[in-house]
Amino acid sequence: MDSTSGIILAASLIIIMFGMGLSLTLADFKRVFSFPKAICIGLLCQIILLPAIGYALAISLELSPTTAIGVMLLAACPGGPTSNMLTYLAKGDLALSVSLTAVASILTILTIPIIVQFAIKSFSNTGQVVAVDALTMIKQLLIIVIVPICIGMLVKRKFSAFSAKMEKPVKIASALIFILVVVGIIISIRDVFMSYLNEAGLPAILLNVSTMTLGFLLAVLFKLNRPQAISISIETGIQNGTLAITLATIALNNVEYSIVPAIYGLLMFGTATIIILFRKPLGGKDEISIT
């Protein structure tokens, strides 16, 4: 992918992260220490179980190196800001969702390079090995993720009325930007898209459904309430596809690694819609709070 396309991708993600910052306050981070059980379960699902499931799928389905690395790259990424909007629509615990998204975004600065390097070493053929500069990737994540989030939080603190008005439009714009990014990737690989869909479609939907299901079941097993279970389920299954695409095209310089994140980005909205439609009739029966 050329430098112009890379800049557009990075700028798109910065806008999305800034929008997420508009919905965050320092109090959201304090919840991590005040109500540790729900946070810990959610982070366990995102940081450890999600990559483990991705690896198991890649091995069991005998995926090609390109698809396997794409699956692992996606699984290494945190939940995207879209998950907060979907959690709200599904009547989940929004405070928990926002906290998980924020904390996971920080933690994955360290875990993404490790998981991606492991994936490339495990699945690439001898002639396809790609050297991943972990320090460069960490710098890119800091610039693209942490800085815009902090700026968004600062704007919210200093100009609360403005941030309240902008929060919804920015979230809508973020969703539209992601759709445009996915469409752009599909167009750029249109000649081979159908052939990759045949291979990447199954692991993408299996990763989505299995992680969302496991996240919900673990929350229920540890006796969290239904809103919390819904939040953890969505946070585990709705990944930051834009980040995965950006890393594939910029850090790894291989657009083919972005095929799985692009397909996943299309499929994950379908499963999330099912949860939203299923949840709506239950509105008002559960208290949305972290306990």
Q: Where are the domains of the chain?
A: 3-280
Taken in order 208, 272, 96, 289, is the CA torsion positive or negative?
A: negative
Q: What is the DSSP string of 161-212?
A: HHHHHHHHHHHHHHHHHHHHHHHHHHHHTTTTHHHHHHHHHHHHHHHHHHHH
Report pLDDT for 267: 75
Contacts of 70 by beta carbon, 8 Å cutoff, 6+ apart:
200, 244, 248, 256, 257, 258, 259, 260, 261
For the chain, residues with pLDDT lower than 50 are 1, 126-132, 282-285, 287-291
Report pLDDT for 289: 41
Report pLDDT for 291: 40
Report pLDDT for 129: 45
From the list 111, 110, 81, the residue with the least C-alpha distance to 97 is: 81
Report pLDDT for 47: 92
For the whole model, what pTM was predicted? 0.72
How far apart CA 236 and CA 37 sit, in angstroms, is: 16
Report pLDDT for 158: 87
Report pLDDT for 189: 63
Q: What is the dihedral of CA 218, 223, 227, 233, to 10 degrees?
A: 0
AA letter at 209: V
From the list 112, 113, 117, the residue with the least C-alpha distance to 76 is: 112
Beta bridge partners of 239: 79
In tens, the pLDDT along 179-207 reads 676 677 667 667 766 776 777 788 988 99
Residue that is written with structure tokens 């299996």 in the block: 206
Residue that is written with structure tokens 């998980």 in the block: 100
User: Which fold is adopted by the domain 3-280?
Assistant: Na+/H+ antiporter like fold (1.20.1530)
How far apart CA 284 and CA 224 sit, in angstroms, is: 17
Residue that is written with structure tokens 């919804």 in the block: 168
SS3 state at 151: helix
